[in-house]
Amino acid sequence: MALIQVHITATRDQVSEPILYRLAKDFNVVTNVRRAQVEEDYAFVAVDIEGSLPEVQRAIAWLQTTGLHIDPKERSVSDRGNL
Q: Looking at residue 33, which CATH number applies to its domain?
A: 3.30.70.260
Q: Which domain holds residue 21?
A: 2-76
| 82 located within any domain | no
Burial class, 56, CB count within 10 angstroms (exposed 0-12 / middle 13-18 / buried 19+):
buried
> For the chain, what is the domain count?
1
Instruction: Give 74's pLDDT tier (boundaries 50, 70, 90).
Output: confident
Q: In angstroms, what is the C-alpha Rg of the chain? A: 12
Instruction: Give 75's pLDDT tier (boundaries 50, 70, 90).
Output: low
Instruction: Give 61's pLDDT tier (boundaries 50, 70, 90).
Output: very high
Instruction: Give 2's pLDDT tier (boundaries 50, 70, 90).
Output: very high
Q: What is the pTM of this model?
A: 0.84
Residues 6+ apart with CB under 8 A from 74: 4, 5
